[in-house]
Structure 1
Amino acid sequence: MMELSSRNRFKGTVKNVNLGAVNAEITIEIAPGVEVVSVITKSSAERLQLAEGKEAYALIKSTDVAIAVE
């Protein structure tokens, strides 16, 4: 795998690809019942040939993660 600056890498399986006019919402299951959802450009989803069942990685850059509690 290519070296990346993102340290948080989660390997999983694409569970859902929802293509819009410009963006795509991608759901990756990284463990049973644990999902990560990302919005990327439609062209990126097509270029990566993302489809249900395909293996993929969710890369999370720590500067872009927000935490909330009630």
Structure 2
Amino acid sequence: MRISARNQIKGTVTEVRKGATTAHVLVDIGGQVVTSSITNDSVDNLGLKAGSSVYVVIKASDVMIGVD
């Protein structure tokens, strides 16, 4: 897999939570968990399940932080 995004982190799927149309995929990246929201079709097409080895690819123009 070759893509232009530079922020690629290898991890392991710990859980897939499917909803009506969207799934939350939880990925362990060295003790920290990153959650991605993708379509159920994408989960099925990629064959994602707990234990799958994946890459988390982060491509964002903004990172926001808020406080109370």
The TM-score, its normalising length taken from structure 2, stands at 0.89
Q: Following the alignment from structure 1 to structure 2, what is the Cα–Cα distance between the partners of residues 59 and 23?
A: 18
Q: State the match for 1:67 in structure 2.
A: 64
Q: Following the alignment from structure 2 to structure 1, what is the Cα–Cα distance between the partners of residues 51 and 38?
A: 18
Q: Following the alignment from structure 1 to structure 2, what is the Cα–Cα distance between the partners of residues 69 and 43?
A: 32
SS at match of 1:53: coil
Q: Following the alignment from structure 1 to structure 2, what is the Cα–Cα distance between the partners of residues 52 and 3?
A: 24
RMSD (Å), alpha carbons? 1.2
Q: Following the alignment from structure 2 to structure 1, what is the Cα–Cα distance between the partners of residues 9 and 33?
A: 10
Could you list the structure 1 runs, at least 4 aligned residues long, displaced by more than 2 angstroms after superposition. none
Query: Is 1:12–1:31's contact at 8 Å kept on the other side of the alignment?
Result: yes
Query: Is 1:23–1:41's contact at 8 Å kept on the other side of the alignment?
Result: yes
User: What runs of 5+ residues in structure 2 fail to find an aligned partner?
Assistant: none
Q: State the match for 1:47 in structure 2.
A: 45
User: What runs of 5+ residues in structure 1 fail to find an aligned partner?
Assistant: none
Query: Is 1:6–1:60's contact at 8 Å kept on the other side of the alignment?
Result: yes
Q: Following the alignment from structure 2 to structure 1, what is the Cα–Cα distance between the partners of residues 4 and 33?
A: 22
SS at match of 1:67: coil
Among all aligned residue pairs of Structure 1 and Structure 2, give the percentage whose two residues are the same amino acid: 36
